[in-house]
Amino acid sequence: MESARVWYGFDNEHEKRKGAWINSTDLELLSLIWTNRYLTNKQLTKYGNQLFGYKGDSIQKKLKRWSNYAIVKIEYQSVLNKPPISCYYLGKNGINILKQEGIIKEEEKAININNYIRNSSHYLGIQDVVIDTLIALKTNRKNIISIHPNKDTYKNEVGEPFIVPDWVFRKGSRTLNIEYDTGLQTMTKIKEKIKNYIKLSKHKPEEEHYVLISVADNSNIYTVKYYDDRRTRVLNIKDTIIHKGADKISNLHFYVTTASRSPIIANNILKGIYPFDKSTFKSEQELFELSMEISNSNYQLVPLAKKEIFHNDSYNIGEIAQYELIHKERTNSKQVLVLNIVEEASVAALNKINYLEEENKNNKFKQEVSHLLIVYQSRSELENDIVMKNYETLKFTDTKNWPLLLQGEKQLTLEKKKGGRVLERTKGSS
């Protein structure tokens, strides 16, 4: 955990020897505080414990010791009339250490915290998402540029700022913009943000733009107590994005989820897992075909061309697999299966799911579709994605359990989980 330490002395007229031993993990903590401006003791302790292996209150003791030498400054912040919590920002000696190491520029000055924190609940909430995302990235965090955005982050053709995200992560050519929603903003404000991201995608058409809207939930202590699972808020924001047509812009990708799931989604985006590319769809479809083959299913799969099922390709239907199901013992039996691989929190995925439900429910396909599968790569993604309730014709599963849907003619029943999530259960034989 500990690397070679360096002694940093501080000028003081009353003491000849005043300073601190600083190692590489200390420098990372100080850089984190500088970048994020203002972090709670809990956030810094979690970061140090999970990434550096510190135990118990070691980080807390370190921070208090640093505060005695103006490496950091401590402030007690009361949020929503709750008991004050200890927060830290960089002191003059902390800034000087980072200057000596070349981590920040010589002209950098101490930060006026009041310029950054207008709403403590919102600010500390977004910092929770940032810290948890860096923890989720683990060793990959060193390849990530974490940015506290300002009015210079995004400008239009004449140099005017038109959008300031709550946070920005960059990895190589991939940029992820994060918006933190406490639920207090009107949908009018959210629509304005969506319009600005559409402008951004058009202003820089050569770039891919990723936006994660993180909806505050009860996973942190800085917000009000919510009496629901935030499902309605998430769906309302997704629906607004869909109505603006933002999910169909090729270089703009929207994801909406709760704060507790946001670091996982951000991790998938920054690592290039989301959005799925064509090779992912192909490999998952091949996996399905192999799973069916080795599961002793009574059905034989015969691939169908998209034109045999769909009237148009406006929803990237080419990424959806279609098969004719032929029962091995009933040669006259013909059924059709449509396989849709989706990403958790994706607005484009939700729109496609809703489209498939409406087309199937209203018999708009060219032929009857007897099985319409919505497939997630993992059980966790399946259980945590927030989609509409009460789909009548869709069956939700994950890549580990999809052979069960057809194996031995077992039929699938839909069960409502707490919060309305639809899960699959196999039940008897028909």
pLDDT at 247 over 60: yes
Q: What is the mean pLDDT of residues 256-273?
A: 97
Per-residue pLDDT band for 410 (boundaries 50, 70, 90) equals very low
Closest to 220 in 3D by CA, of 33, 40, 37: 40
Q: Which residue has the higher pLDDT, 262 or 412?
A: 262
Per-residue pLDDT band for 322 (boundaries 50, 70, 90) equals very high
Comparing 1-15, 201-215, 268-282, 409-423, the range with the smallest average pLDDT is 409-423
So what's the pLDDT on residue 332?
Answer: 63
Q: Which residue has the higher pLDDT, 289 or 427?
A: 289
Q: What is the mean pLDDT of residues 404-412?
A: 50
DSSP state of 276: P
So what's the pLDDT on residue 356?
Answer: 93
pLDDT at 421 over 50: no
> Per DSSP, which regions of 197-313 are E strands?
209-215, 252-258, 299-303
So what's the pLDDT on residue 407?
Answer: 54
So what's the pLDDT on residue 417?
Answer: 40
Pairing of strands 39-40, 72-77: unpaired
Q: What is the mean pLDDT of residues 180-206?
A: 93
Report how far residue 174's alpha carbon sits from residue 341's, in angstroms, rounded to the nearest whole number: 23
So what's the pLDDT on residue 215?
Answer: 96
So what's the pLDDT on residue 160?
Answer: 83
Please calculate the CA angle 55-58-61 and round it to the nearest 5 degrees.
Answer: 165
pLDDT at 423 over 50: no
* Total count of residues recorded for the chain: 430
8 A C-beta contact, residue 397 and residue 419: no
Peptide bond into 275 cis (omega under 30): yes
Pairing of strands 39-40, 85-90: antiparallel
Q: What is the mean pLDDT of residues 295-300?
A: 78
Q: What is the mean pLDDT of residues 329-358?
A: 88
pLDDT in tens, 137-146: 999 999 999 9
Per-residue pLDDT band for 12 (boundaries 50, 70, 90) equals low
Per-residue pLDDT band for 405 (boundaries 50, 70, 90) equals low
8 A C-beta contact, residue 261 and residue 213: no
pLDDT at 30 over 90: yes
Q: What is the mean pLDDT of residues 16-36?
A: 90
pLDDT at 426 over 60: no
Exposed (0-12), middle (13-18) or buried (19+): which is 214, by Cβ within 10 Å?
buried
So what's the pLDDT on residue 331?
Answer: 66
pLDDT at 216 over 60: yes
pTM as predicted: 0.90
pLDDT at 25 over 80: yes
Q: What percent of the chain has pLDDT over 70?
A: 90
Q: What percent of the chain has pLDDT over 90?
A: 61
pLDDT in tens, 148-159: 998 888 887 778
Q: What is the mean pLDDT of residues 338-367?
A: 93
| Mean pLDDT of all residues belonging to the chain | 87
So what's the pLDDT on residue 430?
Answer: 28
pLDDT at 190 over 50: yes
Closest to 131 in 3D by CA, of 169, 188, 186: 169
So what's the pLDDT on residue 258?
Answer: 96
pLDDT in tens, 58-102: 999 999 999 999 999 999 988 877 788 899 999 999 999 999 999
Q: Which residue has the higher pLDDT, 18 or 282?
A: 282
Per-residue pLDDT band for 200 (boundaries 50, 70, 90) equals very high
